């Protein structure tokens, strides 16, 4: 069953309207029409079965048939990645969305190889949000991860305060699972923040600040990973320990 994103405020009293790019994809690309059943999801984690009733040039009206029960994840994992060059942030958003990240944050630190100009931040976040929505449709997860804001290192420390468990993956901290000190038991952690440093690494001062703020400094093995690879390795490791990849 095809799945489409439902903008906030576009449904009420058992009915929904799809417009814009989603409607064009539904009607022009997939050639769906009245009588076809589809799935609709919204930014709040709602998931519905709906039937197309009427269509126009760039809209479709649907009736909601059923609201599906969506299981909540075992743990909410946020991943903060230092900004990288090229289109790697796009790749990071796509892969972290597929792997279940609840929040994705990009930040600037002392050894970042890329900065985002203030006037371009909103445009970048909008692009990443679209990538996240497409990835949600592809991997069939019910909720869209929150993207942003782009933060500086000091702001990131402040944002980290509410999390139950905080880990910063750092290439100077050798080892894999053994480097995850003070590992809490599964089921006792509701929120996790994982930091992926810049390609130039964290400075000694930044590493000290992270440790003071309660972050566990951990390694991802003996190899030096690219930022996008490290982001995937980090969330898979945490999902296998605490999340929906954990063993029963």
24-59 tens-digit pLDDT: 999 999 999 999 999 998 877 788 899 999 999 889
Predicted confidence band of residue 247 (pLDDT cuts 50, 70, 90): low
Give the torsion sign (CA, 91, 93, 98, 100). Answer: positive
pLDDT tens for residues 101-157?
999 999 988 777 666 666 678 888 999 999 999 999 888 887 899 998 788 889 999
Q: What is the pLDDT of residue 231?
A: 94
For the segment 178-199, what is each residue's pLDDT rounded down to a tens digit?
Answer: 556 566 666 677 899 999 988 7
DSSP structure string for the chain:
--EEE--TTSEETTEEEEEHHHHHIIIIIS---TT-EEEEE-TTS-EEEEEEEEE-SSEEEEEEEEEPP-PPPSSEEEEEEE--STTHHHHHHHHHHHTT-SEEEEEE-TT-S----GGGHHHHHHHHHHHHHHHHHHHT-SSPPEE---EEHHHHHHHTTT-SEEEEE-TTS--SGGG-TTPPPTTS-SEEEEEE--TT---HHHHHHHHHTTPEEE---SSPPPHHHHHHHHHHHHHHHHSTTS--
Q: Is 173 within 8 Å of 179 (Cβ atoms)?
A: yes
Q: What is the pLDDT of residue 221?
A: 78
Residue 96 binned pLDDT confidence (cut-offs 50, 70, 90): very high
pLDDT tens-place string over residues 198-214: 877 888 899 999 999 99
> Is the pLDDT at 7 greater than 80, yes or no?
no
CA gap 61, 59 in Å, rounded = 7
pLDDT of residue 220: 84
What is the average pLDDT across 222-235?
A: 89
Q: How confident is the model at residue 175 (pLDDT cuts 50, 70, 90)?
A: low
In the numeric block, the tokens 């690494």 are attached to 201
pLDDT at 177 over 70: no
Domains in the chain (CATH in brackets) are 3-67 (2.40.240.20), 76-242 (3.40.1280.10)
* Mean pLDDT rounded to a whole number for the chain: 85
Task: Tell me the whole-structure pTM to 2 decimals.
Answer: 0.84
């Amino acid at each position: 069953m095809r799945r489409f994103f439902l903008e906030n405020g576009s449904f009420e009293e058992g009915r929904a309207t799809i417009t814009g790019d989603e409607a064009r994809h539904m009607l022009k690309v997939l050639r769906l029409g009245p009588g076809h059943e589809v799935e609709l999801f919204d930014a709040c984690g709602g998931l519905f079965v709906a039937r197309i009733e009427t269509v126009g040039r760039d809209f479709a009206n649907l009736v909601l048939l059923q609201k599906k029960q969506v299981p909540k994840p075992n743990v909410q994992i946020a991943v903060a990645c230092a900004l990288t060059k090229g289109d790697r942030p796009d790749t990071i958003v796509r892969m972290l969305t597929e792997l279940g990240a609840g929040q994705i944050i990009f930040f600037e630190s002392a050894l970042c190889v890329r900065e985002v100009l203030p006037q371009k931040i909103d445009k970048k976040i909008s692009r990443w949000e679209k990538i996240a929505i497409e990835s949600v449709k592809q991997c069939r997860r019910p909720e869209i991860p929150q993207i942003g804001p782009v933060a500086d290192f000091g702001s990131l420390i402040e944002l980290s305060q509410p999390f139950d468990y905080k880990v910063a993956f750092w290439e100077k901290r050798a080892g894999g699972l053994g480097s995850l000190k003070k590992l809490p038991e599964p089921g006792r952690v509701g929120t996790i923040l994982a930091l992926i440093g810049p390609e130039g690494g964290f400075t000694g001062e930044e590493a000290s600040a992270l440790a003071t703020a309660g972050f566990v400094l951990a390694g991802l093995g003996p190899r030096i990973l690219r930022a996008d690879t490290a982001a995937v390795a980090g969330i898979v490791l945490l999902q296998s320990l605490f999340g929906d990849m954990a063993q029963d």
